[in-house]
Amino acid sequence: QLMSMRCSNRFTTTAITNTPSIIRPIALLNTSRHFPSSRRHLSFGQQTPNFQWQSSRALEAWVEKPARPVSLRQLIFFGGRHLDERRLLDSANYVRTELPTRIAHRIRDMQKLPYVVVTNPHISYVYQLYCEAFDSFRKIKEIHNQDDNDKFCAVLKQALHRHLTVIPKLVMGVLECRELMSPEQLDKFMNTLLRSRISRRVIAEQHLALTDTFHSPFHFPDSSPEHPNAHPDFVGEVFLRCNAKEVVEYCGRLTQKLARKAYGDNAPVPEIIIEGHLDTIFPYIPSHLEYMIGELLRNSIQATIERHYNPANPEPQQVPPIHILICHAPQHIIFRVSDQGGGIQNSELENIWSFSKGSKRDTQLQNLAMIPALAATMQELETSGFGHSVTRKDGHESSLTRLTSRPPNLKLGIGLPMSRVYAEYWAGKLEIHSLEGYGTDAFLQISKLGNKSEQLTLDGL
Ligand code: COI
């Protein structure tokens, strides 16, 4: 019996024994009084850490370093057809020093949370992951050659995989801590943490993609971009020629398919009408754009069906279409998604951006722990084994697999705030205007020129 208690209590045990000594907690506390979920982690003689910290010179030193944000253009500059060993190693060393810096800042944020919040088992699980990742990355020595880089890439891949559960864990943690911090504080914490996480995954995945390109048999640094097997329009994860209309069509098809799965073949699925500047092309990371457009369409389709479809009526029914307007301005691309799904009640409007106020979300939480449905990028899905490949016209695979691979009735409830995190990360915007009783207009603004740096925190720090 003792053995099985130990096994079921793996997290708590590792939390204490594996935490790097620089940041190891020095005392123990039982938190099950505050967090019912922590009870299943606790067994006789084992308790969660209380997070009073030994002073940590290593952490202090890294917290002092400022992050060095990059722009899409800089990401492109590292790669492209001029990618050579020097540039690859520069990219490797940038990621090698940038990851521990960015993680150290977030560890420090977590250390500033109220004591009782950090002891939440989900939050402390994430804290633990970050401490381990920080400790492993800060120790990696300068990367001098391809051999060093290959080893570094193996560590990166493993870390990306290990961190797949971070978002569901954070969502559960934040919901369990609703009574302990104000919604504003919790949302600020989540926004900063998630934006920073996107940024770390972007630079890590970009470097992995550049390394793949470098090793690809079709990569000849001096060859012309017309090489039949090269993808001159992709530099790592950045697609230089994102076609706004094609992205919308693609997301539309997949979200319509998802709606059919969720509501049954008899339910009418709204048509998606695309208008405006239909030849708009700009550089972006397709998985980010697809996440945002996919979530907006998913919301609009769901609202439209739920407002206009009556499953009790056996007659064929029709629902109003969703209109997407693409506007190509000098500095920005704007997508306006308009539906007639009844809008959002005024009393609900202030909650739509919150990670901590969702009420419907609670019932889904058990599932969240099991399903990495909030995978933020293609790689998260691939490594989680939940994705199935959808090959795009340009030969690359799309992150939208998450929409079709997610169980159709699993409403995660953070699509909107998460989409805004994505939009703001590359200095864009996401706004919702509700016409109560009629429909909703969502405005997604994307910075067109690729010269805006990552926005790592809410206050620019
Ligand atoms: C995360 O996914 O949370 C990360 O921090 C990724 C990084 C360790 C490469």
pLDDT at 219 over 70: no
Bridge-based pairing state of the strands 272-276 and 332-339: unpaired
- Which tens digit of pLDDT belongs to each residue from 332-351? 999 999 999 999 998 888 88
Confidence of residue 236 (pLDDT cuts 50, 70, 90): confident
Ligand 1 centroid from CA 352, angstroms: 26
Residue 261 has a pLDDT of: 87
pTM: 0.80
The number of angstroms, rounded, from the C-alpha of 377 to the middle of its chain's C-alpha atoms is: 6
Separation between Cα atoms, residue 182 and residue 165, nearest integer Å: 25
**Residue 220, pLDDT score:** 56
Tell me which DSSP letter residue 22 carries: G
Atom of ligand 1 nearest to the CA of 103: 5
Mean predicted confidence (pLDDT) in 24-32 = 40
Establish whether residue 251 lines the binding site of ligand 1, counting it when its CB lies within 6 angstroms of any ligand atom.
Answer: no
Distance in Å, CA 393 to ligand 1 centroid: 29
Give 309-319 pLDDT, tens digit per residue: 999 998 889 99
374 CB less than 6 Å from ligand 1? no
**Ligand 1: nearest atom to the Cα of 137:** 8
Query: With bands split at pLDDT 50, 70 and 90, how would you rate the model's confidence at 231?
Result: low
pLDDT over 90, % of the chain: 55
Q: What is the pLDDT of residues 158-206, one digit of tens each?
A: 999 999 989 888 988 998 999 999 999 999 999 999 999 999 999 999 9
Buried b or exposed e, range 86-121, using 16+ CB within 10 angstroms: ebbbebbbbbbbbbbbbbbbbbebbbebeebbbbbb
Reading across the β-sheet that carries 238-243, which strands appear in turn?
Answer: 234-235, 238-243, 281-284
What is the CA(37)–ligand 1 centre distance, in A?
25
- Residue-level pLDDT at 314: 87
109 or 10, greater pLDDT: 109
Amino acid (one-letter) located at 282: F
Q: Which residues pair with 46 in a beta bridge?
A: 43
Which pLDDT belongs to residue 221? Answer: 53
Residue 291: band (very low, low, confident or very high) from pLDDT cuts 50, 70, 90: very high
**What is the position in ligand 1's atom list of the atom closest to the CA of 164?**
2
Cα(231) to centroid of ligand 1, in Å? 27
DSSP 65-133: SPP---BHHHHHHHSGGG--HHHHHHHHHHHHHHHHHHHHHHHHHHHTS-HHHHTSHHHHHHHHHHHHH
- Considering the chain, what percentage of its residues have pLDDT values greater than 70? 71
Q: Which residues pair with 377 in a beta bridge?
A: none
Residue 218's pLDDT is 66
Q: Which of the four pLDDT bands, split at 50, 70 and 90, describes residue 213? A: confident
The CB of 193 under 6 Å from ligand 1? The reply is no
In angstroms, the CA 289 to CA 247 distance is 8
pLDDT at 154 over 70: yes
- Per mean pLDDT, which range of 4-13, 83-92, 261-270 is the poorest? 4-13
Taking residues 199-219, report their average pLDDT: 88
Integer Cα distance of 287 and 401 in angstroms: 10
Q: Which residue has the higher pLDDT, 454 or 255?
A: 255
Can you give the pLDDT at residue 35?
A: 56
Residue nearest to atom 2 of ligand 1 (CA): 163
Position in ligand 1 atom list of the atom nearest CA 163: 2
Long-range pairs of 38-45 with CB within 8 A, sequence gap ≥ 24 = 38/119, 38/120, 38/121, 40/8, 41/9, 41/11, 41/12, 41/121, 42/9, 42/12, 43/5, 43/6, 43/8, 43/9, 43/12, 44/2, 44/5
**Per residue in 131-152, pLDDT tens?**
999 999 999 999 999 999 999 9
Instruction: Compute the average pLDDT of residues 435-445.
Output: 97
For 266-270, 350-354, 377-381, which range has the lowest pLDDT when averaged over its residues?
377-381
With a 6 Å cutoff on the Cβ, whether 201 touches ligand 1 is yes
57-61 average pLDDT score: 89
Greatest Cα pair distance, the chain, in angstroms, is: 71
φ and ψ at 325, to 5 degrees? Answer: -105, 130
Give the confidence band of 56 by pLDDT, cuts at 50, 70, 90: confident
Pocket lining: 169 vs ligand 1, CB cutoff 6 Å: no
Specify the range with the lowest mean pLDDT, choosing from 96-105, 274-283, 365-374: 365-374
Residue 207 has pLDDT above 70, yes or no: yes
Pocket of ligand 1, candidates 97, 99, 190, 192: which has the most ligand atoms within 8 Å of its Cβ, to mutate? 99
ipTM for this prediction: 0.98
Question: Does residue 368 register a pLDDT over 50?
Answer: no
Instruction: Determine contact, residues 39/32, Cβ cutoff 8 Å.
Output: yes
Say whether pLDDT at 226 is over 60. Answer: no
Q: What is the pLDDT of residues 418-433, one digit of tens each?
A: 999 999 999 999 999 9
* Arithmetic mean of pLDDT over the chain: 78
Task: Among 248-252, 293-297, 391-395, 422-426, name the one with the lowest average pLDDT.
Answer: 391-395
pLDDT confidence band for 62 (50 / 70 / 90): very high
Instruction: Grade residue 302 by pLDDT with cuts at 50, 70 and 90.
Output: very high
Residue 51, pLDDT score:
34
In short, whether 204's Cβ falls inside 6 Å of ligand 1 is: yes
Ligand 1 atom closest to the CA of 166, numbered from 1: 3
- Which residue would you say has higher pLDDT here, 37 or 308? 308
Letter string b/e over residues 251-263, b meaning 16 or more CB atoms within 10 A of that residue's CB: bbebbbebbeebb
Least confident among 8-12, 270-274, 300-304: 8-12
